[in-house]
Structure 1
Amino acid sequence: MKRYNKIMITICTSLFIWGCTSDFEEVNTNPEGFSNEQLTQDFNHVKELLPPMLYSIYPFSLTSSLGSYQLQGSLIADVYSGYMGIPTPYRGNNNNTHYSLVDGWNQEPWTIAYGFNMSNFLKLEERSEDNVTLAPFLALGRIARVEAMHRVSDIYGPIIFSRYGSSDTATPFDSQKDVYYQFFAELDLAVNDLTKAINSEQPEIVGSADVSKYAGSYRAWIKFANSLRLRLAMRIVNADGDKARSEAETAMANEFGVIESPSENFIVTNTASVHPVEILSSGTNDVRMGASIESIMVGYKDPRLSRYFDFSTFPGLEDTYKGMRSGINIDDKNDYLPFSLIGDVVEDTHDALLMTAAEVYFLRAEGALRGWAGMGGTAQFLYETGIRSSFEQHGLAGAEEYIADESSKPINYIDPANKGYNIEAVSTATIKWDESAEPEVKLEKIITQKWIACFPESNEPWAEFRRTGYPKLFPVAENKSRGEISTKEFIRRINFPITEKNGNPQGVADAVKLLGGGRPDTGGTRLWWDVPGSNF
């Protein structure tokens, strides 16, 4: 009852805020009557800009946060990653889960990123220009901008980045290749400035402006920047292998290193009292466990299941975990409400976990598999360390037994509410490392375990599924894309926002050309880094 009351109070508060959304400029305007001297005292004129940049990466502490999260995450990556199912038959069973993309929903990742992250960075850059003292603020802003905007690029492809804020009638987009190169350059600048501040023994002045768990620690932010560089390097490996290797090796060679312990995970603190996924799961009943994660984690007898999900209450299936497929036709929402809710992983914390030590170990494992220098161990050692790190993060025992399991495999999926959606397991991958296996087999193990470890943060797993094809997921049950998206090849991106098409039509028209090869602005078009075929 206590948990229910907490959720309902937050729903009421969130819906009130959502219905009373203020203009962004008003939200971020300084209190009336503050003088310029007061604003610049204790760096308040730049401190005020960092929190909205960080909160916009994962919208839970912004105006209209519940609605924003649902549109930015729940109805895009949460579903497309295979993590979650949607029991609500939105738009008469004709919505994103069926590949019938809804323009009014799919502009939200863009709107949030530009309205809160990019706009505040522009102000931060202007206010700290040529001021060495303020360089650390700008450095953190650069890293936060890269973290936010790579997610946006991984959703749409080309984005507005280098010319953002220009007075051009048609604001030009950057190609995804160009913007990724700019991400690496931004991380260079940020790491260099923070390193200078550390070497000159400057006091750490960011303080309360850093609403992450790092609390303004320059060393922690450098580790995150290096880890983020490693993530972005791996993302482009199939499109630009030499650049990928160079950036990955640069990340690992930095004197401050990368994230190596769960205590160093990059977490943005939430000012709300409940996680948006918990609201959508236990409060509004709009989210349940996904079928793919049931198949894999139940098949693996994965101890993390008890942290990620609650038991089903479906008659006869109590004390089991039950997920639902994406893109099914739902006659009655009540048929799927007994399926598994999202569990303690969102109930115990309302913060946003955006990068973990486990993810970084799996990135390093893939780097070692590819023969890259400086990854800090063999692929097997790093793979197994990634699993151990994930278990440690969740306070679970049994990692060694899990790592040694050479027989457990994903299981067939059975839908007790509609047997027409039953489907056989699509993967035979096991857990135990096999050094004699082919590289693709080893990569499937690495990515599958990274996918499990990243839950519930879904943007990265969805991107990695598109890059590698792993883990193998169940296809959409009912494809209503009118031929724009292949059921076999899955959705590859989200089309450009309708607001941008209306407000910047020439910019969007040019951006479509940047998709390459005359490919259309649809969910079936692959991004630059999303290269079909073998991963090696």
Structure 2
Amino acid sequence: MKRTTLSIILIGISIITSCNKFDNINIDPTRSSNLDPALQLTNVQLRYSGDLEINEKIHLCITMPLVQQVGGIWSNRWGQMYIYNRLYLSSLWDNSYNKDVTDIVSAVERSSNNPLMSNLNAVCRIMKVYEFARMTDLYGDIPYTEAGLAYSKGITHPKFDRQEDIYNHFFEELTAAAAQLDPSKDVVRGDQFYNGNIAAWKKFANSLRLRYAMRLVKVNPEKAKAEAKSAYDAGVFTSNADICLIHHEDVQNSYSDSRGNGLSAAFVQSEVLPRVNNTFIEQFRLTNDPRMSHFFRYYIDIINRPFDRIDITDQVREKIGYNGVKPTDYVWDEQLAPLDITLPNGTAIKATSNDQKVQLANFLIRNNAPFFHMTFAEVELLLAEASIRWNVNWGGTAAEHYANGIRAACEQLSLYPTGPKIETALINNFIQSNRLVPGSEIELINKQLWIALLMNGTEAFANWRRTGFPVLTPSLTGESTTKVIPRRLEYPINESEQNRANVEVAIKALGPNGDTWTNRVWWDK
């Protein structure tokens, strides 16, 4: 995709959405009558991975620690140690419904039934599904058909749709929107994912359909198989060139600036950066994964200058191997004896206990790190799982898709600025040494998805819930407010207060445990 001057776009959005006090009094003063849906699309795409508030709360604080990829700092405690925080659980809802949901619903409305915006409308419909999927996967039943319609239709207390109905509509929308896309029609402007590439958007729609089909393997395997087959037949990703990603600018995000990578900003704003969870490290160690030395590095932190951290990996690794934090520990809990280290400038120092706990490498958390919305690696690993579950051959055997998925996941790292290019021989050896084992195929496939989805905590969390892999031991401490790993987010208090009747219906549908973060969404039953 092209790199756009995001600051200019954001300024444009601000200007267009401003309300002119001299406008005709018959025009709704809360809603622009001529807002360009292309700019709304741009804004929604940028905020999805650029919004600091959302990405800090749902990725860094909750989902990445929940699936035991990172941990150890105060901000990780909510997900790592299951410490209840209603404000954090509400963050996605509170910051999406009144912004991104409203924008994308409006963009679909404004571009519909307009022959000059046919492709734009189709892209917005796909983006709308993608936006709502994140919401329903985390919360369960949510406002969907009536959401975002306060301005256009005056609906201020939207009903909650059942997740099953929402998913059925996802499949219909993705199918229809992909069919609507036509390269002979309008050029899609402002698209931050594919720069208006119609063929790429078709593949993205079909690949999303595959992802959401596989969500249903527990609750409705027949529907899952049928939708997955239809998605594959329509044309999914076939190489890393198809990856859906957004390139962020090399700026440090704030809570009002979405140009940089929001998750990166969340990582580097801490005086102490998150450490890697030993559960995650063990997967790399047991399989002799060639990505290990690239992902995990030992650094001496420099407060407020995260990218000036001093890399001491080689010396520490030689003495203690790879060591992160235990699932139950803060970084300061396990105190290790100081190590004698010589810095690159020749200065001899003592590496402290904190210095001896690995962190994610700089290239993963750069301000301009891309955010991978969906990858070829994920598609191939999902197809590998489908092959095992249903004894099908959709373009290859399970072993072939599995190998393709691992290779793609290794090679996609080179798409990061300063990211590594792993040698083909090393990847080949890794694949040969980690073949599928009869009876354990689904576990092995989804452990690789666990790795491939690093830096996309919500998807890693969703995939863990739908498959149960990797098998995680709850990280219980004296601070934990539950004894099991949470499986959803709770509805916000303000929604319960302002939309009480509809919320009560949704809570009743959740079953005996009600609106708790240990309850399960429909497809996770």
TM norm. shorter chain > 0.5? yes
1:281/1:288 contact within 8 Å kept: no
For residue 510 of structure 1, what is the amino acid of its counterpart? V
CA change 1:371–1:294 in 2 (3 A) is: same
1:125 CA displacement: 2.6
Q: Residue deviations 1:50-102, cap 9 Å, x none?
A: 012212322x2xxxx33332113211111112211142278xx7x44321221
- Report matched runs for 1:470-485 at 5 Å: 470-478=469-477, 480-482=479-481, 485=482
**Which of 27-36 and 102-111 deviates more?**
27-36
What is the rounded CA distance, in whole Å, between the counterparts of 1:27 and 1:296 in structure 2?
Answer: 49
- The answer to whether the aligner puts 1:506 opposite 2:501 as a matched pair is yes
What is the rounded CA distance, in whole Å, between the counterparts of 1:282 and 1:337 in structure 2?
Answer: 16
**What secondary structure is seen at the aligned counterpart in 2 of 1:267?**
strand
1:53/1:120 contact within 8 Å kept: yes
The aligned counterpart of 1:262 is: 240
What is the rounded CA distance, in whole Å, between the counterparts of 2:327 and 2:496 in structure 1?
Answer: 28
Q: Which residue of the other structure, out of 493, 496, 520, is the alignment partner of 1:526?
A: 520
1:296 CA displacement: 0.8
**What secondary structure is seen at the aligned counterpart in 1 of 2:245?**
strand
CA change 1:388–1:136 in 2 (3 A) is: same
1:170 CA displacement: 3.7
For residue 297 of structure 2, what is the amino acid of its counterpart? D
1:384 CA displacement: 0.9
The aligned counterpart of 2:133 is: 150
Q: Which residue of the other structure, out of 194, 199, 211, is the alignment partner of 2:192?
A: 211
1:351 CA displacement: 2.0
1:366/1:379 contact within 8 Å kept: yes
What is the rounded CA distance, in whole Å, between the counterparts of 1:335 and 1:102 in structure 2?
Answer: 29
- Report matched runs for 1:96-495 at 5 Å: 96-164=79-147, 165=149, 167-168=154-155, 170-194=157-181, 197-198=182-183, 201-202=184-185, 204-207=186-189, 209-212=190-193, 214-254=194-234, 257-273=235-251, 275-284=261-270, 285-311=272-298, 317-318=316-317, 320-328=321-329, 336=354, 338-343=356-361, 344-347=363-366, 349-371=368-390, 373=392, 375-394=394-413, 395-397=421-423, 398-405=426-433, 431-434=434-437, 437-438=438-439, 441-478=440-477, 480-482=479-481, 485-487=482-484, 490-495=485-490
Q: Which residue of the other structure, out of 38, 56, 74, is the alignment partner of 2:60?
A: 74
What is the rounded CA distance, in whole Å, between the counterparts of 2:79 and 2:105 in structure 1?
Answer: 33
**What secondary structure is seen at the aligned counterpart in 1 of 2:360?**
coil
1:26 CA displacement: 6.2
**Which of 113-122 and 154-163 deviates more?**
113-122
1:321 CA displacement: 3.0
What is the rounded CA distance, in whole Å, between the counterparts of 2:84 and 2:35 in structure 1?
Answer: 42
TM-score for both structures, normalised by structure 1: 0.77
CA change 1:467–1:126 in 2 (3 A) is: closer
2:332/2:354 contact within 8 Å kept: no
CA change 1:47–1:526 in 2 (3 A) is: same
What is the rounded CA distance, in whole Å, between the counterparts of 1:270 and 1:358 in structure 2?
Answer: 21
Q: Residue deviations 1:149-178, cap 9 Å, x none?
A: 211111111111011126456421111111
CA change 1:52–1:272 in 2 (3 A) is: farther
**What secondary structure is seen at the aligned counterpart in 2 of 1:364?**
helix
What is the rounded CA distance, in whole Å, between the counterparts of 2:43 and 2:496 in structure 1?
Answer: 26
For residue 188 of structure 2, what is the amino acid of its counterpart? V
CA change 1:69–1:27 in 2 (3 A) is: farther
What is the rounded CA distance, in whole Å, between the counterparts of 2:299 and 2:141 in structure 1?
Answer: 41
1:226 CA displacement: 0.5
What is the rounded CA distance, in whole Å, between the counterparts of 1:307 and 1:150 in structure 2?
Answer: 31
1:162/1:174 contact within 8 Å kept: yes
Q: Residue deviations 1:388-444, cap 9 Å, x none?
A: 111222221211111122xxxxxxxxxxxxxxxxxxxxxxxxx2223xx22xx1100
**What secondary structure is seen at the aligned counterpart in 2 of 1:353?**
strand
1:56/1:148 contact within 8 Å kept: no
The aligned counterpart of 1:29 is: 17
Name the count of aligned residue pairs.
Answer: 451
What is the rounded CA distance, in whole Å, between the counterparts of 2:157 and 2:480 in structure 1?
Answer: 30
1:466 CA displacement: 1.2
1:326 CA displacement: 3.9
1:267 CA displacement: 0.3
1:282/1:341 contact within 8 Å kept: no
**What secondary structure is seen at the aligned counterpart in 2 of 1:215?**
coil
What is the rounded CA distance, in whole Å, between the counterparts of 2:62 and 2:140 in structure 1?
Answer: 15
CA change 1:82–1:501 in 2 (3 A) is: same
CA change 1:287–1:222 in 2 (3 A) is: same
What is the rounded CA distance, in whole Å, between the counterparts of 2:22 and 2:290 in structure 1?
Answer: 54
Q: Residue deviations 1:239-291, cap 9 Å, x none?
A: 0111111110110111xx11121121100232453544444444422422122
Question: Which segments of 5 or more consecutive residues in structure 2 lack a partner in the other structure?
Answer: 1-9, 25-33, 252-259, 301-311, 335-351, 414-420
The aligned counterpart of 1:9 is: none
For residue 322 of structure 1, what is the amino acid of its counterpart? N
What is the rounded CA distance, in whole Å, between the counterparts of 2:196 and 2:146 in structure 1?
Answer: 29
1:127 CA displacement: 1.6
1:357 CA displacement: 0.5
For residue 232 of structure 2, what is the amino acid of its counterpart? M
What is the rounded CA distance, in whole Å, between the counterparts of 1:80 and 1:28 in structure 2?
Answer: 40
For residue 154 of structure 1, what is the amino acid of its counterpart? D
CA change 1:348–1:97 in 2 (3 A) is: closer
For residue 471 of structure 2, what is the amino acid of its counterpart? K
1:308/1:342 contact within 8 Å kept: yes
2:140/2:488 contact within 8 Å kept: yes
CA change 1:241–1:353 in 2 (3 A) is: same
For residue 326 of structure 2, what is the amino acid of its counterpart? R
The aligned counterpart of 2:30 is: none
TM-score for both structures, normalised by structure 2: 0.79
For residue 427 of structure 2, what is the amino acid of its counterpart? A
2:63/2:79 contact within 8 Å kept: no
The aligned counterpart of 1:425 is: none
What is the rounded CA distance, in whole Å, between the counterparts of 1:150 and 1:348 in structure 2?
Answer: 26
Question: Which segments of 5 or more consecutive residues in structure 1 lack a partner in the other structure?
Answer: 1-21, 37-42, 406-430, 532-536
What is the rounded CA distance, in whole Å, between the counterparts of 1:26 and 1:391 in structure 2?
Answer: 39
What is the rounded CA distance, in whole Å, between the counterparts of 2:211 and 2:295 in structure 1?
Answer: 24
For residue 519 of structure 2, what is the amino acid of its counterpart? T
1:280/1:286 contact within 8 Å kept: no
